[in-house]
Amino acid sequence: MRASVSFQWSERSPLTSWLAAGLLTLLPLGAHGDDHPSNTLQVHGFLSQALVVTDDNDFFGASSDHAGSLEFTELGLNASFRPHRKVLVAAQLLSRRAGGDTEDAEPTLDYGVIDYQMSSNTSRTVGIQLGRFKNPFGLYNQTRDVAFTRPSILLPQSIYFDRTRALGLAADGVSVYWEAYTDAGTLRFRSGLGRPQTGSTLTRQLFNGAAQDVSAAEPSAIAQLLFEDPTGQWVAALSTATVNLDTSLGGQAADFEFQPWIASLQYNDEYWSLTAEYARRQQSLDGDSLPRTFDITGESWYVQYQYRFTPTWSGLVRFDRLINDTDDRSGQRYQQAGLGPAHSQFADDLTLGVQWTPTPRLMLAGEYHAVDGTGWLPNQDNPDANATRQRWNMLLFQLSLRF
């Protein structure tokens, strides 16, 4: 069986694909003979619980304690229905705890949209979505909350940051999509304009906790162009975004701008897949009388190999690199300026993982990380950066269910 990360786009409505990725059966949400809403209603859910163990540093709770941390839990419930053959209404509630306080696990609206297909035929599909939409960012962002759609327990942290996930996960606004179907393959374009999610967690994670508050200054924009060949062997994408935030440091107002570019490429064979993504991130902080300003370019990339031993067993090996500032790759200038340890400015992560899916409803996974650097460690779990170790190891085990 040929597997492709792009299976989440197999349906012509992108929103349908987001939901289908987390469902027990990958059936079209509107595939019923009767279009009456009561016949198109679908409700599904998922639950994941992980154990995180580290030798040094903490990740998602006090993982360096002898027993490790059980503070990585994901619980989701989604529903969708079609009031009209061209309209899909869908939403998902998500309760997620990844370290931090228990109140962080309060259910929130993960996404909730009205999807209207203005045109759909054998050559193209054009549609629009209103509400809270998932950002088309890289190959995994739109389905990252469902463990069954991830190649590993943790996605490559250099690109899919968990410590600032809210910023890139979803936005409130409008999204449009256009898909063209040709003999050469399928070309998909998506773009959105909306306000990103912020909140207390993001406030703690950005700027080493020095920010008093973080809010969306103005609507942010995101766009992605993706091509997939007819066989699903080759998938290529280019994603970009512009995010503007208001914050306050030392009692002074500040403007933070973030602009990433991500190039994605994947090849799928019958038994194995090779995936690579490369990102450049422009970040700037400006304002009057600030204790610190910056304008830096970060760099991230990973190469990932997956092998499907049997229909139920798969393995993974990945190398993942993060550099916060390409002009200070070692972090020495950052440390000399008294801003923190040099190793907080980079991270190299070698990952080995395995997944076992004995039934479509159950998955068990385990993985090992050998990490050099702390560039993506959550600040909430490691409030004193100077107390962290540069080289550390992490084991994760996860049980995932869906219905």
Q: Which CATH architecture has domain 5-402?
A: Beta Barrel (2.40)
Closest Cα partner for 249 from 335, 339, 172, 329?
339
How many residues comprise the chain? 403
Q: What is the DSSP string of 266-308?
A: EEE-SSEEEEEEEEEEEEEEE-TT-S--EEEEEEEEEEEEEEE
The enclosing H or E element of 39 equals helix 37-40
Distance between CA 210 and CA 269 in Å, rounded?
47
Q: Over 70: is that where the pLDDT of 13 sits?
A: no
CA 367 from centroid of its chain's CA atoms: 18
266 phi/psi in degrees, rounded to 5: -140, 140
What is the DSSP secondary structure assignment for residue 156, as one 8-state letter? -
Task: Pick 396 or 165 by higher pLDDT.
Answer: 396
The enclosing H or E element of 167 equals helix 165-169
Q: Over 70: is that where the pLDDT of 33 sits?
A: no
pLDDT tens for 51-105 read 999 999 999 999 998 889 999 999 999 999 999 999 999 999 999 998 876 666 7
pLDDT score for 218: 78
**309 three-class SS:** coil
CA 105 from centroid of its chain's CA atoms: 18
pLDDT tens for 126-160 read 999 999 999 998 999 988 888 999 999 999 999 99
Distance between CA 349 and CA 84 in Å, rounded?
47
Distance between CA 90 and CA 131 in Å, rounded?
10
Q: Which residues contact 392 (CB under 8 A, 6 or more apart)?
A: 54, 55, 56, 57, 371, 374
Tokens representing 232 are 């699903």
Q: Over 80: is that where the pLDDT of 292 sits?
A: no
pLDDT tens for 301-359 read 999 999 999 999 999 999 999 999 999 999 999 999 998 999 999 999 999 999 999 99
Position 10, amino acid: S
Q: Over 50: is that where the pLDDT of 176 sits?
A: yes
Confidence of residue 203 (pLDDT cuts 50, 70, 90): low
Q: Which residues contact 28 (CB under 8 A, 6 or more apart)?
A: 11, 16, 20
Q: Which residues contact 121 (CB under 8 A, 6 or more apart)?
A: none
pLDDT tens for 359-384 read 999 999 999 999 999 999 988 889 89
